[in-house]
Each structure stands twice: as structure tokens, then as C-alpha cells.
């Protein structure tokens, strides 16, 4: 079992002691708090109790938000490592941390007023508040710029009308960042708190994927919005899309975590399971699967690590992020499928995490920009021509 460790190119040597400390703390949390129970929650289609507070306690929320606002003030590699370890437990856990950190804390920190930062960031960092990010609409997913949600000026405030769909944590959020067009056609970020009149949340059930995460709709029926609830520092699609850069980067790391969990499960099983009088690991076809999994995991690790360095230096482009998100999620899905086959019938039961990761990754390959949308982003970067 020499290669059960998936660090084939000794990337650990590129990490600082602080990185390893953070990585190990989150790994320990996932091993003790998530892995023993996640199968039950996923099977029951129910959330993990008190997850956001637990993530806050382990320092997994707002990793790169400055400490003055309750964040951890860490670098982008630390953020990536946190996402990797969380998704080794379950994509639902990484999703919760992604949305809270990259899609809610990041825009408040980047585009919010000082009062908005003071009011929300510290409580989002501890998990006392749960945030949601509303961009996708029933009629507009891949093309969010076509959004129909409207923010109309009225005397001293605004009125918000419209609906957002497929929103992670919608049914349980305390505050949602909602993207809407104003009278001038500008895209504005609006902070809507849960008890606001005319704001309703509807749960989306019957999911075969991300079953331990709550998803739903946010509906706004002429909701009164004070001007203090608008993010002042952004008024275009750059607002929501720059949040996605951060979340997509995190997903590129998270997918590695899920893939490594599948790879390690498959290697352990193949060494123990005997057929035709020999461990199945001794057969060339099984070795091919394991060798290819480890090769693809290693390539993905290198992509995300380099992207993290570029992000630390403020040089990562959205297009580079798209490439890593697309490649790594596809890689993880492929690893999960191969690993599941290697376990034969045992691969379909919940005693092993393979089907759960595989089904989760079907959402991950769709949200934060579909696999094909990211390919078109790369195509546009190569040619200068949009194929959307």
C-alpha cells in the first residue's frame, strides 16, 4: 500500500508550516465530525446539524478575510487547502464554506460599506449567521446578465421584485446577497435579511445530489429595501462574477479532496479484495485505473497550487480559474466513477463514500458555471471570439 498517500509529487514540501497546521486541523475536523455521520445525513436528505457554527469554530469561514472583520487573514493556498479537506468529507460541507466565504463574505468585504462589514462579517465568520448568494434565476442560469430581478427606486429606498432559484442554503439563510438590475439597468448587490416582509424561501427537494445541503428559491414580492442595504462599491456584472472567481478557485481544490477520498478508498479495497485467488490490485486493468487516477489527481494538484500562487500575487485571471475548475471537477467525477467500478457491487452502497461523491460532483460540475461554459471561456480566451 505504498501509494495510498496521494501526494505523489511531494507538494507538501511547497507548503509552509502554517499551511500544514491549517490543513491538518480541518482534516481532523472532517475525520471526527463529518465522515462518521455524513452518510446518514445524505441518505436522510437532511442538513448536518449546526454545520456553519462548527465550520466557524475550526476557522473554515472567511479564511482570507482580514482578522479585523473576524476572518482568518490567511493566504489563498490556505483557503484552497481548507476547501480540499472539507470536500474530502462531502461536497455539501465545502459548498457551505464556499458560499459563506467566497459568495457572501467576499462581496461584503470587497463592495460593502464599513457599516455593512461591521454588521455582517464577524457573525458570518463564526457561523452565527448563514449567508446565501442569489444570482441564478428560473429563466437565467448560464447567462445571469439576462436577470429579470428588479430593484426599483422609491422615495427614500427601493423595491425588490423577482425570484432566484437553485440557491444553496436558501431555506436556512439569515441574509442573502441578491443581484438585481436597477432603473438604470445597472447590476446591484442587495443584502436581504430573512424576516423582511415579502421575502420568502422555498426548499427544493428530491435531489439525488448534495443531499446533505439545503437548496431552494428566494422569492421577492415588492420587498422594501433601505438604501443602506445596497452594496455601494459595485454596479455591474463584475460584482457577482468576481465572487465566482473566488468560489471557483476553491472548488478546484475541493474537487481534489473528493477525488483523493475516492482514490484512497479504491486502492485500499483493491489490495484487500481477492478474486481468482489474487488481490484485484494485482490485475493490470485495475492498476491502469489506479495509475490514471493518481496521475490525474497529481496534475490537478499542480494546477490548483500554481493558481493559488498566482492568486496570492493578484495575477490569476478568471480564465485560468475556469480552466482549473473545469479540469479538476471533471477529473474528480471520473475518479469517482472509476473507483466505484473497482469496488464492484460494494461500490453502490453507503458503506463507502463513492456513490455519494459521484452524485455530489454532478452538481459541482454544473454550478459555478457548467463544464461547457468554462470550456467556452477558455475558447474565448484563446481566440478572442465569444461562442456563447
Q: What is the distance between the alpha carbons of residues 243 and 234, in angstroms, rounded to a whole number?
A: 12
Known catalytic residues are: 368
Nearest approach in angstroms of CB 52 to ligand TGC is 13
* Burial label, 161 (beta-carbon count in 10 A; 0-12, 13-18, 19+): middle
Among ligand TGC, ligand FAD, none, the one that 298 touches (CB under a kind-dependent 5 to 8 A) is: none
Nearer to ligand FAD, 57 or 375 (CB): 375
Among ligand TGC, ligand FAD, none, the one that 134 touches (CB under a kind-dependent 5 to 8 A) is: ligand FAD
Among ligand FAD, ligand TGC, none, the one that 237 touches (CB under a kind-dependent 5 to 8 A) is: ligand TGC
Sign of CA dihedral 341, 268, 252, 309: negative
Nearest approach in angstroms of CB 212 to ligand TGC is 12
Nearer to ligand FAD, 110 or 366 (CB): 366
DSSP SS3 for 319? helix
Radius of gyration of the chain (CA): 21
Alpha-carbon 261 to chain mean position: 17
Among ligand FAD, ligand TGC, none, the one that 366 touches (CB under a kind-dependent 5 to 8 A) is: ligand FAD
Nearer to ligand TGC, 137 or 296 (CB): 137
The answer for 338, left when phi > 0, alpha when psi is -120 to 50, beta otherwise, is alpha
Nearer to ligand TGC, 133 or 263 (CB): 133
Nearest approach in angstroms of CB 92 to ligand FAD is 9
Q: What is the distance between the alpha carbons of residues 46 and 226, in angstroms, rounded to a whole number?
A: 34
* Burial label, 194 (beta-carbon count in 10 A; 0-12, 13-18, 19+): middle
Angle in degrees, CA 30, 33, 35, rounded to 5: 60
Q: What is the distance between the alpha carbons of residues 176 and 147, in angstroms, rounded to a whole number?
A: 16
Among ligand FAD, ligand TGC, none, the one that 238 touches (CB under a kind-dependent 5 to 8 A) is: ligand TGC
Q: What is the distance between the alpha carbons of residues 38 and 4, in angstroms, rounded to a whole number?
A: 22
List interacting residues with ligand TGC (CB under 6 A).
Answer: 95, 98-99, 133, 135-136, 142-145, 168, 236-238, 241-242, 244-245, 247, 318, 367-369, 373, 377, 388
| HSE value, Cβ hemisphere, 13 Å, CA-based, for 309 | 8
Nearer to ligand FAD, 274 or 372 (CB): 372
Nearest approach in angstroms of CB 306 to ligand FAD is 26
CA distances from residue 24 to 37, 56, 71, 86, 207 in whole angstroms, order as listed: 20, 16, 19, 11, 32
Nearest approach in angstroms of CB 388 to ligand FAD is 4
Q: Which residues pair with 168 in a beta bridge?
A: 215
List interacting residues with ligand FAD (CB under 6 A).
Answer: 99, 133-136, 141-142, 166-168, 210, 215, 363, 366-368, 370, 372-373, 376, 388
Among ligand TGC, ligand FAD, none, the one that 244 touches (CB under a kind-dependent 5 to 8 A) is: ligand TGC
List of residues 6+ apart from 32 with CB closer than 8 A:
none
Nearest approach in angstroms of CB 87 to ligand TGC is 10
Amino acid at each position: 500500500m505504498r501509494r495510498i498517500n496521494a501526494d505523489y509529487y511531494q507538494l507538501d514540501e511547497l507548503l509552509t508550516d502554517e499551511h500544514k497546521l491549517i490543513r491538518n486541523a480541518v482534516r481532523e475536523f472532517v475525520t471526527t465530525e463529518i465522515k462518521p455521520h455524513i452518510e446518514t445525513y445524505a441518505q436522510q436528505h437532511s442538513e448536518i446539524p449546526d454545520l456553519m457554527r462548527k465550520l466557524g469554530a475550526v476557522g473554515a469561514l472567511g479564511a482570507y478575510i482580514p482578522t479585523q472583520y473576524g476572518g482568518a487573514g490567511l493566504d489563498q493556498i490556505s483557503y484552497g487547502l481548507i476547501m480540499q479537506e472539507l470536500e474530502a468529507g462531502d461536497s455539501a460541507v465545502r459548498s457551505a464554506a464556499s458560499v459563506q466565504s467566497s459568495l457572501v463574505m467576499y462581496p461584503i468585504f470587497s463592495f460593502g460599506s464599513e457599516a455593512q462589514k461591521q454588521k455582517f462579517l464577524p457573525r458570518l465568520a463564526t457561523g452565527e449567521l448563514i449567508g446565501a448568494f442569489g444570482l441564478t434565476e428560473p429563466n437565467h442560469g448560464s447567462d445571469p446578465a439576462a436577470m429579470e430581478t428588479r430593484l426599483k427606486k422609491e422615495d427614500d429606498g427601493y423595491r425588490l421584485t423577482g425570484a432566484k432559484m437553485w440557491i444553496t442554503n436558501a431555506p436556512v439563510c439569515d441574509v442573502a446577497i441578491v443581484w438585481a438590475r436597477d432603473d438604470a439597468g445597472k447590476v446591484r448587490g442587495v443584502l436581504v435579511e430573512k424576516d423582511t416582509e415579502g421575502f420568502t424561501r422555498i426548499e427544493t427537494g428530491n435531489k439525488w445530489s448534495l443531499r446533505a445541503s439545503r437548496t431552494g428559491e428566494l422569492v421577492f414580492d415588492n420587498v422594501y429595501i433601505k438604501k443602506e442595504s445596497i452594496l455601494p462599491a459595485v454596479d455591474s456584472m463584475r460584482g457577482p462574477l468576481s465572487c465566482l472567481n473566488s468560489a471557483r478557485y476553491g472548488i478546484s481544490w475541493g474537487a481534489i479532496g473528493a477525488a483523493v477520498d475516492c482514490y484512497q478508498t479504491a486502492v485500499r479495497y483493491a489490495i484487500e479484495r481477492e478474486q481468482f485467488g489474487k488481490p484485484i490490485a494485482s490485475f493490470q486493468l485495475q492498476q491502469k485505473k489506479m495509475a490514471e487516477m493518481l496521475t490525474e489527481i497529481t496534475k490537478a494538484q499542480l494546477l490548483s497550487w500554481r493558481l493559488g500562487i498566482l492568486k496570492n500575487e493578484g495575477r490569476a485571471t478568471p480564465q485560468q480559474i475556469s480552466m482549473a475548475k473545469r479540469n479538476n471537477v471533471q477529473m474528480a467525477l471520473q475518479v469517482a466513477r472509476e473507483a466505484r467500478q473497482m469496488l464492484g457491487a460494494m461500490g453502490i452502497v453507503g458503506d463507502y463514500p463513492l456513490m455519494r461523491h459521484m452524485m455530489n460532483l454532478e452538481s459541482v460540475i454544473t454550478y459555478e458555471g457548467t463544464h461547457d461554459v468554462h470550456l467556452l471561456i477558455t475558447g474565448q480566451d484563446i481566440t478572442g471570439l465569444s461562442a456563447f
